[in-house]
A = this chain, B = another copy of it.
Amino acid sequence: MVGKQEEHVFPIEYLKDFSTKVFMHFGVPEADAKEAAEVLAKSDLRGIDSHGVARLHSYFDMLTLGRINPNPDIKIVREKFSVATVDGDNGLGLVVGPKANEIAMEKAELYGSGWVSVCHTNHFGIAGYYPLKALERDLIGWAMTNTTKLVAPLWGAERMLGTNPIAIAFPGYKEPPIVIDLATSAASYGKLEIARRKKAEVPRGWIIDKDGHMTTNPDEMVQGGALLPLGSERETGGHKGYALAAMVDILCGVLGGANWGPFAPPFALRQEIPARSVGKGIGHFFGAMRIDGFIDKDEFKKQIDEWIRVFRNTQPAPGTNGPLIPGDPEREAEAIRSKQGIPLMKPVVDDLLDISQKTGIPFEVK
């Protein structure tokens, strides 16, 4: 979001072009590099700043050190009609993800639905990107991924699970689609970092300190504490967020033979490497379903329109404008940013300039 900090605005095409060239610099084939840049761009367009070019330097680091394979041989290692496991050969998640999602969508077109667990992959950007691709083919798409440990299970005092997101989208007829994309933690690490920068407290229910006590001081989470799962405490449903994170971890990690739980390898250099490996890379899980295998496609979309209108007409809670439809804020950000460009904060611009300097790929700040 646009803050008060110094920031520069860049056209999305300029950022996409830069990201593409950076990936190609490391030997990522052009089509893959473009796809990867597209995933990052979608995040910036949709206002999810933490997952866009702000992460390019982390991918750059991993590629520089040879910890990610720029030209992976991505293949199906096992399958049975509508289901499969894909080995990503340690490629960029931004490359492996779209390919595995494509396999799920092809299976859906053939068999009514397609479900793909992925091992030996890396962080894949925003989960919401994948169901958006499914919408283009009139499919209901799902995406999940496990991620580096940050979240404590309920009644645990240490990081054991990632923020493990779940995404799914449903197309409307005249209304825009419903796009759900949520981390299974109470709050994101990004929000915590914002609070730290502002030297602000965070709401109770977000974090614990290194001994497992609830705290509102974000520094205490960073120094060996953990995020809490969605629902936070037992009495407000923290066991439910923990169970959802576990579900994602098992579908993405255990089912496809990837690392799971605390053993998911790190995304960035600053994160510690787990002492133990129980599989290959991290894991994703993609699903796609043919709407017309269940119901007439237009009938479904028209009912979704009606669903949206009915929920928009909910009596608003005091001090609010009433409920949003999942996907509203991201779509509104995309409408604005695709015209006005992407605002990047100074540390992100500095990161891109650093990449530019090290690779010789021009990056200009006007």
Chain B CB within 8 A of A240 CB? yes
Query: Which B residues touch A318, using CB under 8 A?
Result: 157, 211-213
User: A314, B180: Cβ atoms under 8 Å?
Assistant: no
Whether A115 contacts B186 in the complex (CB less than 8 A), given A85-B295, A307-B254, A321-B155, comes out as: no
Query: Which B residues touch A170, using CB under 8 A?
Result: 250, 254
Query: Which B residues touch A247, using CB under 8 A?
Result: 168, 180
Chain B CB within 8 A of A222 CB? no
Where chain A touches its partner, the secondary structure class is mixed
A178 to B261, CA, bound (A): 15
A166 to B262, CA, bound (A): 25
Question: Which of B111, B182, B243 is the one whose CB lies under 8 Å from A180?
Answer: B243
Chain B CB within 8 A of A102 CB? no
Chain B CB within 8 A of A322 CB? yes
User: B231, A186: Cβ atoms under 8 Å?
Assistant: yes
Question: Which of B78, B117, B166, B242 is the one whose CB lies under 8 Å from A323?
Answer: B242
**A49-81 to B contact mask, C-beta < 8 Å, 1/0:** 000000000000000000000000000001111
User: A113, B82: Cβ atoms under 8 Å?
Assistant: yes
Q: How far is the CB of A324 from chain B (nearest CB, A)?
A: 7
So how many copies of this chain end up in the complex?
Answer: 2
Query: Which B residues touch A311, using CB under 8 A?
Result: 153, 156, 160, 246, 261
Query: Which B residues touch A157, using CB under 8 A?
Result: 314-318
Chain B CB within 8 A of A93 CB? no
Query: Which B residues touch A113, using CB under 8 A?
Result: 82-83, 113, 115
A318 to B208, CA, bound (A): 11
**A320-353 to B contact mask, C-beta < 8 Å, 1/0:** 1111101000000000000000000000000000
Question: Which of B180, B213, B303, B314 is the one whose CB lies under 8 Å from A160?
Answer: B314
Chain B CB within 8 A of A310 CB? yes
A210 to B229, CA, bound (A): 29
What are 15 residue pairs bridging A and B, where the CB atoms are less than 8 Å apart in the complex?
A: A78-B293, A80-B111, A81-B81, A85-B294, A155-B320, A156-B322, A157-B314, A180-B246, A182-B239, A187-B235, A212-B316, A237-B241, A242-B323, A254-B304, A278-B303
